[in-house]
Amino acid sequence: MSLSTSFRHFRALSRKNAINWKRTPLGSVTEIICPVILMLLLVYGRKITKPEQLDNLKVSALRHPIFQPAKPDGLDG
């Protein structure tokens, strides 16, 4: 596909999106507001929770495949 064809497709898609934004202003605002609200909720959740440090014994006791490399020193397993 040549550069001029790509530009024509981009221009047509941009025009279609502009028409859709004009037709549905509430939907357009919602498209912008929802991700902002989600990020604010994630930031708030991160601020109210405290990170918990786990030592190797606690991590290896979970017996989950992700934690396999975190074995405590001196234990055979």
How does pLDDT run across 25-57, given as a tens digit for each residue?
Answer: 888 889 889 999 999 999 999 999 887 776 666
What does the alpha-carbon distance between residue 38 and residue 49 come to, in Å, rounded to a whole number? 17
Q: What band does 23 get if pLDDT is binned at 50, 70 and 90?
A: confident
Of the candidates 31, 9, 12, 11, the residue with the CA atom closest to the CA atom of residue 21: 31
pLDDT at position 59:
61
pLDDT at position 39:
97
What does the alpha-carbon distance between residue 47 and residue 45 come to, in Å, rounded to a whole number? 5
17's tokens = 């999106």
Is residue 72 within 8 Å of 60, Cβ to Cβ? yes
Is residue 72 within 8 Å of 56, Cβ to Cβ? yes
